[in-house]
Structure 1
């Protein structure tokens, strides 16, 4: 009986979660829109940095202006590259729509992106 209920719930749920509820990488604005205050104070990195074996790099977000439910906008921050602050003043974060982004610092990895266990479907 419980498995029938779980199957019915799975059919009712959308196949793709909205960007604000997903834990997968997305464009910068989708990632920032998941957090309070539109991600100000969060650390974010481009997922491609990990595949290029670049570690300890991230943007610390200082200001955002999101629009279209977090799919577009503008974001500013300070770049930390391999543990060292690149600029003292905030600057516009480029590549926000062009690349995939994730929260936290970049870590070197060789395989494809694997979402956290909590966001994987059991299908």
Structure 2
């Protein structure tokens, strides 16, 4: 049943699909609104982290307050940075509208080359 729904959604043009149903990265709140319980328990990361060579980093979402059908809201979680858990208490996740977010852990893009150290 779920695959029939996914097939039907793929046939629609992406421009006709509401942001909360799009499979692509979006704002933090759009991404979280696609999941049950508004994304509580999901791992999410900023897509720009991979472009910067940051791997194994994500927020584990602990609670959310979404409004406007997932267009705005607040989210809290625990940060895991490069495989190490930062802090024990949840904190508000910043940059929910400012950056693009996706579900999973950050990973570097193929062909990534770090910048050489500056000599200044």
* Shorter-normalised TM range: 0.7 to 0.9
Alignment length, in residue pairs? 102
Structure 1 unmatched runs, 5+ = 1-9, 112-123
Flag the 1:13–1:52 CA change in 2: closer, same or farther, 3 A. closer
Whether the 8 Å CA contact 1:51–1:110 is kept in 2: the answer is no
Answer yes or no: is the 8 Å Cα contact 1:49–1:106 preserved in 2: yes
Per-residue deviation, 1:15: 2.8
Structure 1 moving runs of 4+ over 6 Å? none
2-structure distance, mates of 1:47, 1:81: 14
> Quick check: 1:73 aligned with 2:70?
no
| 2:41 pairs with 1:41 | yes
2:69 counterpart SS class: coil
Runs of at least 5 residues in structure 2 that lack an aligned partner in the other structure: 1-9, 112-120
TM-score normalised by L of structure 2: 0.79
CA pair 11-20 structure 1, distance change in 2 beyond 3 A: closer
TM-score normalized by the length of structure 1 = 0.77
1:57-98 superposed Cα distances (whole Å, 9 cap, x missing partner) = 000000000000000000000000011001110000000000
